[in-house]
């Protein structure tokens, strides 16, 4: 009986190890992009990946404060223009802290959803839209605002409703529910 129990335990351990090895191999086979020091896995959703980027801690905190986690974990698809921490640092002093206050949740939600477009648009799609628009294309955001995209050399540039500009610094970070393009400035609606 003791020998049978040891065989059963060994079988369970072997199966668990095999499953973990297969899972690790599956994750390793995915084409990842490194953002903020962490690999972004196409099999994970926007939130599951963003929380691992050390360059997006401010954005993640804002998404949590605005109660947008569930939305950005949903099926989508979404195209997210994701500002890095340094982009938030460029805002006037106190702006981020003020937006994170519970009484400013609606304004925070407006700013965050201004960075989201319904549908999945990789860089190739965005460039095609720019070419079709003779050098400029318009995108409607989930917030109901407008962004304009254009090219400056080989870089995609996004212009907000106030004339602010952001460059895409890392493109095509594929997610299970869309795509992220990392940007260097926060986009602001009117």
Q: Do the domain assignments include residue 189? A: no
Total structural domains within the chain: 2
Shared-domain flag, residues 105 and 85: yes
Q: Do the domain assignments include residue 174? A: yes
Q: Give pLDDT, residue 29.
A: 78
Task: Give residue for tokens 């963003």.
Answer: 50
- CATH code at position 69: 2.30.180.10
In degrees, rounded to 5, the angle at the alpha carbon of residue 178 between the alpha carbons of residues 174 and 180 is 55
> How many whole angstroms separate alpha carbon 119 and alpha carbon 77?
5
Q: Give pLDDT, residue 87.
A: 96
Shared-domain flag, residues 47 and 22: no
Show Cβ contacts of residue 40 under 8 Å, excluding neighbours closer than 6 positions: 32, 33, 34, 49, 52, 53, 173, 174, 175, 180
Predicted TM-score (pTM) of this structure? 0.83
> How many whole angstroms separate alpha carbon 75 and alpha carbon 175?
10
Q: Do the domain assignments include residue 190? A: no
> How many whole angstroms separate alpha carbon 2 and alpha carbon 158?
68
Q: Give pLDDT, residue 80.
A: 97
Q: Give pLDDT, residue 28.
A: 52
Q: Which domain holds residue 129?
A: 33-183
Per-residue model confidence as pLDDT tens for the chain (190 residues): 444 434 443 444 444 444 443 444 444 578 999 999 999 999 999 999 999 999 999 999 999 999 999 999 999 999 999 999 999 999 999 999 999 999 999 999 999 999 999 999 999 999 999 999 999 999 999 999 999 999 999 999 999 999 999 999 999 999 999 999 999 999 999 9
Strands 178-183 and 33-35: what pairing? unpaired
Q: How many CB atoms lie within 10 A of CB 28?
A: 10
């Amino acid at each position: 009986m003791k020998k049978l129990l040891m065989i059963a335990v060994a079988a369970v351990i072997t199966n668990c190890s095999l499953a973990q090895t297969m899972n690790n191999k599956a994750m390793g086979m995915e084409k990842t992009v490194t953002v903020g020091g962490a690999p972004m896995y196409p099999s994970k959703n926007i939130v599951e990946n963003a929380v691992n980027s050390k360059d997006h801690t401010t954005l993640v905190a804002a998404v949590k404060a605005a109660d947008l986690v569930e939305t950005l974990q949903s099926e989508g698809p979404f195209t997210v223009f994701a500002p890095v921490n340094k982009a938030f640092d460029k805002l006037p002093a106190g702006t981020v802290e003020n937006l994170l206050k519970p009484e400013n949740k609606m304004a925070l939600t407006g700013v965050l959803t201004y960075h989201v477009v319904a549908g999945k648009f990789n860089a190739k799609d965005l460039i095609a839209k720019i070419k079709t628009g003779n050098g400029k294309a318009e995108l409607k955001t989930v917030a109901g605002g407008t962004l304009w995209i254009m090219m400056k050399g080989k870089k995609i540039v996004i212009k907000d409703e106030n004339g602010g500009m952001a460059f895409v610094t890392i493109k095509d970070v594929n997610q299970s529910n869309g795509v992220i393009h990392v940007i260097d400035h926060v986009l602001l609606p009117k």
